[in-house]
Amino acid sequence: YRQAFDCYKKTEQAYTRLGKDCSSIVPLYSSLSVSSMNDKDYQTAIESFLRVEESKKESYPELVETYYNLGQCYFCAKENLKAIEYFEKIEKVKEVDRKFLLPAVIKLLKLFAVEKEDAKIFEYSIKAEALLKDEPGNEDEGLATAYFYLANIYKKKGDDVETISYFKKFAAVLMKKEGKDESPSLMAPYFYIGVSYINL
């Protein structure tokens, strides 16, 4: 993939020197970016997606998809600040498709948790909850994530009532997903619910 990218770049540079239109090369970058991302060659994928971004500054929805893919590549490459930058760009696009907005919000929530930015964790937990709570379908994991982080934020604040409320919501989502109330994954929420009741 790296060799292919270098060849495309040289072709583009040659076109530019000759004053020729380079737009025919962009689809090659687009194809290469997806292939290299799928093969976990994130550096080549990032450089290819960046080239696509440069060529589609005013193009929607292709630009939003490129933002998402860049965010995902940076996320996988553990370049958290760059991942945050691109996932946040998605939010700024007017009338953005929910299929990009929702996963971007969930990713931002997880990234801010890694960065330990409590204010942002709270902000994106609320956003995720708003996007998910009235939605049918298979989005339980995202809702559980939002409830989990909200419960922990309230626990840090010492708000036992809200801590209990959100850990109960978190446990309910897990029970719905796993179909039983004796799962090991429920040990933590039950424990913190118990502790919070003692603190009341």
> Tens of pLDDT along 117-172?
999 999 999 998 888 876 655 467 788 888 999 999 999 999 999 999 999 988 88
CA–CA distance, 36 with 63 (Å, rounded to integer): 19
pLDDT for 3: 65
Q: What is the DSSP letter of 19?
A: T
pLDDT for 71: 95
CA 99, distance to chain mean position in Å, is: 11
**pLDDT digit string, tens, across residues 44-67:** 888 888 888 887 766 556 689 889
Pick from 134, 161, 129: which is nearest to 148 by CA?
129
pLDDT for 122: 93
